[in-house]
Structure 1
Amino acid sequence: MIMKNRGFIKKVTGLGLVFALALSTVACGKSADNSSAASTEVEEGVKKVKVAWQSNSYPLAYEDDNGNLTGYEIEVLKLVDEQLADYEFEYELAGGQDAQYAGLSSGKYDLVLSNAFYTKERDEAYSLPKNPLGASLVGIIVPKGTEGIKDFESAAKAGIKLAPILAGDGLYYVVYKYNEENPDNQIALEATDSSDSFMNAISWVADGRYDFAVWPKNYYEQLVVADGGDLHEYNDKLDFYDCRSVYTYPIISKDKPEVAEAISGVLGSLKEEGKLSELSEKFYGYDAFKYDTVKND
C-alpha cells in the first residue's frame, strides 16, 4: 500500500536521526531559570508535556484535510496520554529538526517526535523510554535487475559497495549492529559528514557509483515510488527489499526521566496489546513489528 505524498521535503537529513545536531543542541546547555521557555508545567496536579512535531513528516505527524493533527507517532502518543492521568500532552509544530532539538535543549519542549532510532550517544544525551514508540522497516536499494542481492547477508557475502551513511545517523547504527552480529560476513561501512548523503544515495545507486544503499521503507515509498515524489525519476531504475525493523523512540529531555519512565510503561502495554501493530497497518500499510528487529545494547 503506497500512501500519497504530502509535500515531503526535498532534502531529508538522515531521517531525523542526525546525532551531530543532537550534540550541538545539548552543548548549548539549559538555563537554571527558564520560566519564559516554559517546560513541563504543573496545573492542578497535572503536568503538561510540551511535544514538538516537525512539518513534512507524513505519515508520522501531519494535519489531515480537516486540519486535525494525526499520524502514526501522534496517534500513539494520544493513546499514551489517555492512560497517564498525571500528564497532559500539548503539541506544537516546531518546523524542522533544527528547531525541534534547539527547543529541547533550551527547555521550550520536553519531547521531540522525529522517527528517531536508538544510538548509544542519543541514549546518553537524552531520556529514552525502554519501550519503543514505533518500528521503522529498513531495507536495501539495488539497481533494478540485480540478482542474488536481497538482504544484508547476501550484500555482505558479495562484497558489494555500500553508499556512505552520515556519521551518527541511525542507519549507520543499523549496519554497525549487523556487522557486530556477523563478524565473519561484514559490510564495508563508510561514514560521511555530508548531510546530503541520505538523498544522494538514491542517484548514486541508480547511476552505478555505489552498489546498494540502506533506507527506511516509508521514505522510499514516499520519495521514490509515489507519483510526485522528489526522487520518483529513479523509481524504474531501482529495487527495494525489506530487511529489518528498527525501533523508534520519542526523544525526551535528559532532566525528565520520570516522563520517559511513565511513557515507557504505557508503550509496553500498547505493544503487547497489538495497538502499535494496528496503527502501523493503518498509517504504513504493513505491520513493521513483524520483522526481525535490530537489538539495542
Structure 2
Amino acid sequence: MAKQNATPYMISRRNFLKGAGILGLGVFGVASLSGCAPDSSSATGGSDSGKTVSVLTYNGNPPYCSLDKEGNLVGYDVDVLKAVDERLDDYSFDIDSMDFTAMITACESGSAELVSCQLVPSEERKEKFIFCEEPFCLSPMVFAVRDPNIKTLDDMAGLTTLSNPINYEYGMIENYNEKYPDKAIELKTTSDITMADAFKMVASGQVDSYSCYDGSFDAVNDEAGTGLYKTNVVLCESTYFMFNKEQTELRDAVDKVLKEMKGDGSLGKLAEQDLGVDVFTAYADVLSDNELMND
C-alpha cells in the first residue's frame, strides 16, 4: 500500500468555500488559494492489474474524503473510487490526496488522470476537463429563511434570495426562473461574503433567503446565532468525477461502471453507509441541476 500521511488538512474544502470562506471564490471555479505541497496520504483500490491511474482527492472534506485516525483515506468518494476500481479490469487506481487547488492543477497538467472532491461540471471547468455522464453523488440543498412556514419552491415564489453570479447555484436558480416564470425567485447578487454573513442578512430582513447545502445549515445557523429555519430539500446538485481532457477512454470506462453501480443499487448502498442516506432514492423526486442546467 502506498505511503500514508497521518496529518490531515484541517479545513473542509466545501466548508471553506461555502462557510468560512469568501463566496466570491465560487463553488465551481478553481479557487485562487495558495497551493500547498502535495500530501502523501494514499489508498490503493481493489485492482492489482491493468494500467495504473493516478487518482487524486482532497483529504479535508468529511464524510466524502478525509483521513481516519490511522492516516488512511476514507469517505464516500474514496469508497466509490475503490468500488469502481474493483470492477475495472484494464485499470488500477492509485488513490492519493492533495490540497484542493494543487489537485485541480495536477489534473489539468496530466500528472493526475482523475480527481474527485464533490465537483460540479461548471462551464469554466468544462473548458479544461471532461466529466462522466453519470453523477456519483447528489448534494441536497435547502434555503435558509426567517419564516418556518416556507417549505417548498412554490412557497419561495416572489421571494428574494442572495447569491453570487459566479456560483453554480446562481445558475441553477436563474434557470429555474426561466423554466418556471410564474414561480420565479428574485435573485439578489452578492460577492465577497461569508455564509454566516449571508445568514445574518436573511435574519435582518435584507433578503428573504439564502441557498445552502442541507448538511451545512445547522452549523452555520448556530455559529451565526441567527435562529433561521430551513426549507425542505428543494434542489439537488449532481457531483461527478473529473478527468484530464486526454482521458476519454478512462472516462468512458468509469462512466460505464458507475451506471452499472447505479442500476444494481450498490452506489446507493455506499451512500447509505457513508452519508447516512441513499441519496439516489431519497432525493429521486427533488428537482436537480441536471433538469435545470441541461435543458
Q: Which ranges of structure 2 fall in alignment gaps of 5 or more residues? A: 1-8, 20-24, 33-47
Q: Is contact 2:196-2:224 (8 Å) kept?
A: no
Residue 259 of structure 1: which of 237, 243, 250 is its match?
A: 250
Within 2, Cα distance between the matches of 1:83 and 1:191?
A: 45
Within 1, Cα distance between the matches of 2:10 and 2:275?
A: 17
Structure 1 residues 20 and 118, CA gap change in structure 2 (3 angstroms): closer
Residue 118 of structure 1: which of 117, 121, 126 is its match?
A: 121
1:204: which partner in 2?
A: 201
Q: Is contact 2:150-2:156 (8 Å) kept?
A: yes
Q: Is contact 1:139-1:214 (8 Å) kept?
A: yes
2:161: which partner in 1?
A: 162
Residue 56 of structure 2: which of 39, 52, 56 is its match?
A: 52
- Does residue 104 (structure 1) correspond to residue 103 (structure 2)? The answer is no
Query: Bigger CA drift: 101-110 or 131-140?
Result: 101-110
Within 2, Cα distance between the matches of 1:217 and 1:58?
A: 15
Aligned pairs, number = 259
Within 2, Cα distance between the matches of 1:47 and 1:200?
A: 48
Q: Is contact 1:245-1:288 (8 Å) kept?
A: no
TM-score calculated relative to the size of structure 1: 0.76
Residue 228 of structure 2: which of 227, 238, 241 is its match?
A: 238
Match of 1:141, as an amino acid? A
Q: Is contact 1:164-1:189 (8 Å) kept?
A: yes
Within 2, Cα distance between the matches of 1:139 and 1:115?
A: 17
Structure 1 residues 248 and 87, CA gap change in structure 2 (3 angstroms): same
Give how far 1:72 is off: 0.8
1:71: which partner in 2?
A: 75
Q: Is contact 2:108-2:129 (8 Å) kept?
A: no
Within 2, Cα distance between the matches of 1:210 and 1:55?
A: 35
> 1:1-297 residue pairs with structure 2 within 5 A?
7-9=10-12, 12-14=16-18, 18-21=27-30, 46-95=50-99, 97-143=100-146, 146-156=147-157, 159-167=158-166, 169-194=167-192, 196-198=193-195, 200-221=197-218, 223-224=219-220, 232-234=222-224, 237-241=227-231, 242-289=233-280, 290-291=282-283, 292-294=286-288, 295=291, 296-297=293-294
Q: Which ranges of structure 1 fall in alignment gaps of 5 or more residues? A: 1-5, 25-43, 225-230
Look up the SS of the partner of 2:103 in the other structure: helix
Give deviations 1:182-214, integer Å, cap 9, x for gaps: 1222112244453x4445323332343322111
Within 1, Cα distance between the matches of 2:122 and 2:242?
A: 11
Look up the SS of the partner of 1:214 in the other structure: strand
Look up the SS of the partner of 1:108 in the other structure: coil
Identity value in percent? 28
Look up the SS of the partner of 2:234 in the other structure: strand
Q: Is contact 1:61-1:72 (8 Å) kept?
A: yes
Within 2, Cα distance between the matches of 1:120 and 1:286?
A: 29
Q: Is contact 1:61-1:69 (8 Å) kept?
A: yes
Give how far 1:267 is off: 0.5
1:29: which partner in 2?
A: none
Structure 1 residues 220 and 282, CA gap change in structure 2 (3 angstroms): farther
Within 2, Cα distance between the matches of 1:82 and 1:215?
A: 34
Root mean square deviation of aligned Cα: 2.9
Within 2, Cα distance between the matches of 1:120 and 1:8?
A: 26
Within 1, Cα distance between the matches of 2:210 and 2:70?
A: 37
Structure 1 residues 200 and 279, CA gap change in structure 2 (3 angstroms): farther
Structure 1 residues 62 and 270, CA gap change in structure 2 (3 angstroms): same
Q: Is contact 1:119-1:173 (8 Å) kept?
A: no
Give deviations 1:192-250, integer Å, cap 9, x for gaps: 453x44453233323433221111122335x33xxxxxx63336612222112221101
